[in-house]
């Protein structure tokens, strides 16, 4: 579980007559990432060239894609089967509704455009219904006429300059808009003044709307005609859609499986371009998880009658990465991929991250009240995103839209799931620390409920112990990273690098134990311990340091001496776990300390007491809300940083290439070659 799936490079050799069946098996197994054939294979096989049948499949795939897009979807309950490509192409020839569907969709598009135009005309006529003259007077050839809106602050200057253009210029009486910020006016200018008028509209930001030329009478009477035409268009659109739905009910269950199989065949044709081919056989290369090789062999044996050969090579260079983590831990693969996908042969730190990150988060938050709130918020987000049509929500739609533009819903749901164990750890530690929104349980319940002192651990009373704990946590994480680095070096057979990692591990323990002893015993006692008479344990620490430093320089090079102080800083960096815990606890206490007297014992007049009460509640809600936001982001950011920088830097290379197997899930067709052997499908 601490390593990606073990990948193997394979070469599949078969007969040309079995090639299509082999590609079908590979597609349905979804276990092989097909690669272009290498130079060694090309010495015996020529590059594959496209055939007429493959071009026919590509053309039919485009045709059926257009049909599926045009028809309204209906449920498809049965799966279809196409034993050969010839049978598939024969099925495509039975579909003869292209012209009918194309004509209906063209007519529907025209009507939708017409409906949109009528809707725009209706809005213009409604806005300028105050104009009581016949629209025909505005359509003379010698003039330009417009419905216009102008900002109220610019209208006087706009009117003055339009009238100054020509004695024949005309403006109707301005009508204020509903918001009072604009004036609506009908403008008529001679055609020879069109260019000067255009400059005025740009100068004053006027919006111009063309006078509808196909309607007669006043805007009010024209509105009735617009409404009648819109009704006719809507009725015709409904009729066309009903006809398309009727066609879809008959043909959609037949078309959709054909389209899916055509897509499969098109993918197979694309992959065929990576194969090598001779007069009688073909060769295919690709990467496959080692665990799937028996499954591949069994499926190919069934499909070809054992007329194939799978060669497993010893090549490892360029192997793709397939992470294999248990379902609960796989949620945290997001953070690993965000940093960098591990290479195929190195350690996958997903499980380490999924265990350590919630512990770090809970330790930095350390408040049961905040933990329960975040837990409830995370569970609500998971439910709400999983049920988008569950009804209205108290969250403003504008905020939801803003957030989902930045982070898609699936990512929010994944982050919410990852917050669940974090919040649980924060709640458990909060109970241990007896912290509930910055107060103890006894204070919240006015002395009715409290824990005995022996069951609580007030962090403010144990600063030194918590710093020691964080130091030992840091030493453990740095050591684990170095051990993983040694394991990677072992598998890569880099013995010098392995020795260097071991020396770094010895140095980390030597320096850290000296420092932690200093914190535990105090500087004076420690200095007395390391001066004569010698202290045996501390001497061992110094011997470890004396061994490690020259070993690192020899194995890692002279420049490694510059990096020696970093081992100390990386261990000490974990003390921020306690620093953030204290900042959260203290901030919560300060908010409660300031708000409590305003809420519970306000002084002064009745008005002053009411003001103090309201101010105290606002301070408490906003203050605690701000601390909760910090309690989500700060532990998350710092916890991730501690793992990325102080832990990953000891062993993690990254820059892996994701495993992308050839194939896709079938929804409307049956994987015929594997249908009788469900165990082969995985």
Secondary structure in 3-state letters for 298-338: HHHHHHHCCCEEEEECCCCCCCCECCCCCHHHHCCHHHHHH
Strand partners, 150: 183
In a domain, 616, yes or no: yes
Closest CA to 412 of 375, 385, 377: 385
Whether residues 494 and 512 share a domain: the answer is yes
Q: Residue 446 pLDDT more than 50?
A: yes
Q: Residue 510 pLDDT more than 80?
A: yes
Enter the tokens of residue 10. Answer: 């394979």
Q: What's the CA angle centered on 434, arms 430 and 440, to 5 degrees?
A: 125
For the chain, the domain total comes to: 3
Whether residues 364 and 506 share a domain: the answer is no
Q: Of 433, 457, 481, which closes a domain?
A: 457
E-assigned strand segments in 332-394? none
Whether residues 532 and 405 share a domain: the answer is no
Whether residues 422 and 479 share a domain: the answer is no
Whether residues 402 and 509 share a domain: the answer is no
Lowest mean pLDDT among 8-12, 210-214, 252-256, 658-662: 210-214
Phi and psi, residue 601, nearest 5° = -140, 60
Q: What is the DSSP letter of 647?
A: I
In a domain, 177, yes or no: yes
What CATH number has the domain bearing residue 176? 3.30.70.2750
Instruction: Label residue 261 by pLDDT band (50, 70, 90).
Output: very high
pLDDT value, residue 50? 53
pLDDT value, residue 238? 95
Mean pLDDT computed over 618-646: 92
pLDDT value, residue 493? 85
* Most confident region among 184-198, 237-251, 502-516, 518-532 by mean pLDDT: 237-251
Q: Residue 230 pLDDT more than 70?
A: yes
Whether residues 380 and 474 share a domain: the answer is no
Helix (H) or strand (E) holding 151: strand 143-151
Please tell me the distance from the alpha carbon of residue 532 to that of residue 530, in angstroms, as a whole number.
7
Instruction: Label residue 523 by pLDDT band (50, 70, 90).
Output: very low
More confident residue, 159 or 394: 159
More confident residue, 59 or 401: 59
Whether residues 440 and 494 share a domain: the answer is no
Mean pLDDT computed over 640-656: 91
Q: Which long-range contacts (CB under 8 A, 24 or more apart) does 323-331 make?
A: 323/4, 323/5, 323/348, 323/350, 324/1, 324/4, 324/5, 325/1, 325/350, 325/351, 325/354, 326/1, 328/354, 329/1, 329/354, 331/414, 331/417, 331/418
In a domain, 551, yes or no: yes
pLDDT value, residue 680? 46
Contacts of 420 (CB under 8 A, 6+ apart): 375, 378, 379, 382
Residue 93, judged by CB atoms within 10 A of its CB (0-12, 13-18, 19+), counts as exposed
Q: What is the DSSP letter of 584?
A: H
pLDDT value, residue 616? 86
pLDDT value, residue 522? 52
Closest CA to 547 of 508, 490, 496: 508
Please tell me the distance from the alpha carbon of residue 674 to that of residue 303, in angstroms, as a whole number.
8
DSSP string for 466-499: HHHHHHHHHHHHHHHHHHHHHHHHHHHT-HHHHH
Mean pLDDT computed over 642-657: 91
pLDDT value, residue 517? 65
**Half-sphere exposure of residue 283, counting CA atoms within 13 Å on the CB side?**
19
Whether residues 220 and 361 share a domain: the answer is no
Q: Of 232, 247, 281, which closes a domain?
A: 232
In a domain, 398, yes or no: yes
Enter the tokens of residue 524. Answer: 């004076």
Please tell me the distance from the alpha carbon of residue 409 to that of residue 626, in angstroms, as a whole number.
24
Q: Of 457, 480, 507, which closes a domain?
A: 457
Please tell me the distance from the alpha carbon of residue 131 to that of residue 362, in angstroms, as a whole number.
69
Q: What is the DSSP letter of 407?
A: S
> Please, what's the largest Cα pairwise distance for the chain?
115
Per residue in 305-361, pLDDT (tens digit) is 888 999 999 888 889 999 999 888 988 998 999 899 999 888 999 999 999 999 999
Q: Are 420 and 379 in contact (CB under 8 A)?
A: yes
In a domain, 661, yes or no: no
In a domain, 453, yes or no: yes
Whether residues 496 and 421 share a domain: the answer is no
Whether residues 225 and 122 share a domain: the answer is yes
Q: Residue 43 pLDDT more than 50?
A: yes
Q: Residue 531 pLDDT more than 50?
A: no
Q: Residue 610 pLDDT more than 80?
A: yes
Instruction: Label residue 241 by pLDDT band (50, 70, 90).
Output: very high
Q: What region does 391 belong to: left with phi over 0, alpha with psi -120 to 50, or beta?
A: left
Whether residues 431 and 521 share a domain: the answer is no
Q: What's the CA angle centered on 570, arms 569 and 574, to 5 degrees?
A: 105
In a domain, 597, yes or no: yes
Q: Residue 629 pLDDT more than 50?
A: yes
Domain of 152, in residue numbers: 114-232
In a domain, 489, yes or no: yes
Helix (H) and strand (E) counts for the chain? 23, 11
Lowest mean pLDDT among 118-122, 396-400, 420-424, 568-572: 396-400
pLDDT value, residue 168? 86
Mean pLDDT computed over 501-510: 88
Closest CA to 299 of 30, 635, 662: 30
Contacts of 484 (CB under 8 A, 6+ apart): 347, 349, 650, 651, 652
Whether residues 483 and 395 share a domain: the answer is no
Q: Mean pLDDT across the chain, nearest whole number?
A: 86
Q: Are 253 and 58 in contact (CB under 8 A)?
A: no
């Amino acid at each position: 579980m601490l390593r990606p799936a073990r990948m193997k490079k394979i070469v599949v050799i078969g007969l040309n007559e079995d090639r299509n069946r082999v590609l079908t098996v590979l597609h349905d197994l979804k276990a092989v990432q097909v690669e272009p054939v290498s130079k060694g294979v090309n010495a015996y096989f020529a590059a594959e060239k496209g055939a007429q049948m493959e071009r026919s499949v590509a053309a039919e795939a485009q045709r059926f894609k257009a049909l599926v897009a045009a028809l309204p979807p209906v449920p498809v309950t049965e799966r279809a089967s196409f034993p050969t490509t010839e049978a598939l192409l024969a099925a495509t020839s039975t579909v003869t509704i292209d012209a009918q569907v194309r004509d209906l969709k063209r007519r529907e598009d025209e009507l939708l455009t017409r409906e949109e135009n009528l809707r725009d005309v209706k809005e213009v006529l409604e806005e300028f219904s105050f104009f009581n003259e016949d629209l025909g007077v505005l359509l003379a050839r010698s003039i330009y006429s417009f419905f216009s809106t102008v900002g109220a602050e610019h209208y006087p200057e706009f009117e003055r300059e339009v009238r100054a253009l020509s004695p024949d210029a005309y403006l109707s009486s301005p009508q204020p808009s509903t918001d009072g910020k604009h004036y609506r006016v009908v403008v008529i200018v001679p055609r020879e003044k069109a260019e000067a008028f255009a400059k005025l509209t740009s100068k004053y930001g006027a919006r111009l709307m063309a006078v509808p030329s196909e309607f007669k009478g006043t805007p009010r009477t024209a509105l009735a005609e617009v409404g009648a035409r819109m009704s006719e268009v809507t009725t015709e659109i409904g009729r066309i859609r009903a006809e398309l739905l009727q066609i879809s009910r008959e043909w959609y269950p037949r078309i959709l499986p054909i389209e899916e199989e055509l897509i499969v065949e098109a993918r197979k044709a694309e992959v065929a371009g990576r194969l090598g081919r001779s007069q009688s056989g073909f060769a295919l290369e690709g990467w496959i998880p080692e665990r799937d090789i028996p499954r591949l062999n069994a499926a190919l044996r069934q499909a070809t009658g054992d007329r194939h050969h799978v060669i497993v090579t010893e090549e490892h260079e360029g192997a793709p990465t397939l992470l294999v983590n248990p379902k609960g831990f796989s949620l945290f693969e997001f953070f690993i991929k965000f940093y960098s996908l591990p290479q195929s042969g190195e350690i996958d730190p997903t499980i380490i991250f999924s265990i350590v990150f919630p512990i770090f988060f809970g330790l930095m938050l350390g408040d049961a009240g905040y933990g329960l709130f975040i837990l409830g918020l995370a569970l609500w987000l998971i439910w709400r995103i999983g049920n988008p049509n569950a009804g209205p929500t108290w969250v403003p739609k504008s905020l939801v839209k803003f957030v989902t533009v930045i982070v898609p819903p699936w990512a929010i749901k994944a982050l919410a799931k990852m917050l669940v164990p974090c919040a649980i750890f924060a709640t458990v530690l909060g109970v241990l620390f007896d912290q509930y929104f910055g107060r103890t349980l006894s204070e919240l319940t006015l002395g009715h409920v409290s824990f005995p002192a022996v069951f609580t651990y007030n962090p403010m009373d144990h600063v030194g112990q918590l710093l020691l704990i964080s130091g030992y946590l840091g030493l453990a994480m740095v050591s684990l990273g170095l051990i993983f680095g040694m394991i990677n070096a072992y598998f890569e057979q880099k013995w010098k690098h392995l020795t260097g990692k071991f020396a770094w591990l010895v140095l980390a323990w030597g320096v850290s134990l000296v420092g932690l002893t200093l914190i535990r015993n105090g500087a004076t006692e420690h200095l007395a311990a390391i001066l004569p008479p010698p202290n045996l344990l501390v001497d061992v620490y110094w011997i470890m340091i004396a061994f490690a430093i020259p070993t690192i320089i020899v194995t890692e090079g002279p420049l490694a001496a510059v990096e020696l102080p970093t081992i100390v800083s990386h261990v000490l960096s974990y003390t921020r776990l306690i620093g953030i815990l204290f900042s959260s606890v203290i901030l919560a206490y300060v908010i409660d300390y300031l708000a409590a007297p305003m809420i519970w014992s306000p002084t002064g007049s009745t008005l002053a007491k009411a003001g103090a009460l309201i101010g105290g509640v606002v301070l408490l809600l906003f203050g605690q809300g701000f601390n909760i936001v910090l309690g989500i982001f700060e532990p998350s950011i710092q916890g991730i940083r501690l793992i990325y920088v102080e832990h990953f830097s000891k062993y993690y290379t990254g820059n892996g290439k994701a495993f992308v197997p050839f194939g896709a899930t079938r929804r409307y067709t049956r994987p015929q070659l594997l249908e009788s052997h469900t165990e082969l499908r995985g």
